[in-house]
């Protein structure tokens, strides 16, 4: 076990530190907020089509490097990609007012110990939850989508959106508000259910190329966001019981047909030996190293000794990762 942990740490830190390349952009993050329509007093337009009990899903994209910090409060507003913003009901979908009037962009704002509470809101301000205008006019000007949730003071560890990845629901929730406002009135209200903050792109890509041996297909699966400090796993299954396996790590890929499959992790940059367990599995777990630049690409692939096949070796599928 100690040897496995040590080698997995080397696999994910020493090798990456040697070969990683500089980042060129921030990380794309998707925010999805789900609720249910509690009441609707709007008759005309798109909002007039919405019925009580419908599902409401608000979603948008943002860049982890594009934000403004409040000068007055411990809050940070990440600029929402305006084209990506939408509120999808069962009956209709509505976006932001376009173009937005002059002024600040729409923000997704994080609150960390502000004071003694954490939370999130959407606004054209990093200080107050005053909402954002959507693409329908009401009796008092543009309808305003107003959303905020407040939790206890230990849900967030910083104002970094990448530290806030995860799912937020009623656990620890103290206050929520999700309304569509018309001037001083709130004609549409939603019951908040859940919010997820996740990477917009899956950092793991299965390239295939594996072969089948005495214990079935050698299958390699990776999990984790690849954000610094987050849990990351590599799991190989399907190798022969107690087989000697070899893991290749590469920072470029020139695929070669071999062993009845395709070797993608070549030329390898580092290689590591592991013994499969009696079930034919190898499991590696490590906290992803801090400081690996965004946009770093790498390929993983395993070989397993298997006397049942003509070449004496089976090959796992290859995994390509791209760090966020």
Assess whether 110 and 227 both reside in one domain. no
For the beta sheet containing 231-237, the strands, ordered from the edge strand earlier in sequence to the opposite edge, are: 219-223, 231-237, 282-287
Assess whether 247 and 127 both reside in one domain. no
Output the pTM of the full model. 0.74
In a domain, 238, yes or no: yes
For residue range 45-73, list pLDDT tens digits in order.
999 999 999 999 999 999 999 999 999 99
Confidence check: pLDDT of 272 > 60: yes
Rounded CA-CA distance 259/272 in Å is: 19
For residue range 75-122, list pLDDT tens digits in order.
999 999 999 999 999 999 999 999 999 999 999 999 999 988 999 999
Assess whether 161 and 34 both reside in one domain. yes
- Give the torsion through C-alpha atoms of 159, 164, 165, 171, to 10 deg: -160
Q: Around 84, how many Cα atoms within 13 Å sit in the side-chain half-sphere?
A: 17
Q: Around 244, how many Cα atoms within 13 Å sit in the side-chain half-sphere?
A: 6
Location of structure tokens 């007012």: 97
Domain final position from 199, 221, 237: 199
In a domain, 2, yes or no: no
Range with lowest mean pLDDT among 219-233, 241-255, 269-283: 219-233
Measured between alpha carbons, how far is residue 224 from residues 16, 203, 286, 322 in Å?
16, 8, 10, 12
pLDDT of residue 288: 87
pLDDT of residue 293: 82
pLDDT of residue 25: 53
- Number of domains the chain is built from: 2
């Amino acid at each position: 076990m100690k040897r496995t942990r040590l080698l997995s740490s080397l696999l994910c830190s020493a090798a990456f530190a040697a070969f990683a390349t500089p980042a060129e952009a921030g990380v794309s993050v998707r925010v999805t907020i789900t609720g249910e329509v509690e009441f609707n007093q709007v008759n005309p337009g798109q909002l007039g089509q919405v019925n009580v009990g419908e599902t409401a899903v608000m979603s948008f994209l943002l860049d982890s490097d594009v934000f403004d910090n409040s000068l007055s409060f411990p809050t940070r507003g990440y600029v929402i990609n305006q084209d990506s913003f939408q509120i999808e009901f069962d009956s209709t979908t509505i976006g932001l007012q376009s173009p937005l009037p002059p002024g600040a962009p729409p923000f997704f704002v994080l609150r960390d110990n502000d004071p003694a509470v954490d939370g999130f809101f959407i606004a054209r301000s990093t200080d107050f939850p005053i909402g954002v205008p959507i693409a329908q006019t009401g009796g008092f000007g543009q309808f305003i989508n107003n959303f905020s949730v407040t939790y206890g003071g230990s849900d967030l560890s910083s104002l970094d959106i990448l530290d806030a990845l995860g799912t937020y629901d009623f656990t620890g929730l103290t206050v929520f508000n999700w309304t569509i406002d018309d001037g001083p009135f709130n004609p549409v209200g939603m019951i908040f259910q859940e919010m997820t903050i996740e990477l917009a792109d899956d950092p793991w890509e299965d390239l295939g190329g594996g072969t089948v041996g005495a214990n079935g297909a050698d299958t390699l699966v990776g999990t984790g966001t690849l954000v610094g400090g987050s849990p990351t796993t590599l799991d190989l299954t399907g190798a022969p019981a107690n087989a000697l396996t070899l893991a290749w790590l590469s920072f470029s890929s020139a695929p070669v047909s071999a062993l009845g499959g395709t070797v993608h992790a070549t030329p390898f940059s580092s290689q590591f030996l592991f013994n499969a367990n009696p079930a034919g599995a190898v499991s590696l777990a490590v906290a992803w190293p801090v400081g690996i630049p965004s946009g770093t690409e790498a390929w993983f692939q395993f070989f397993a000794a298997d006397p049942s096949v003509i070449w004496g070796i089976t090959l796992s599928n290859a995994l390509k990762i791209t760090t966020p």
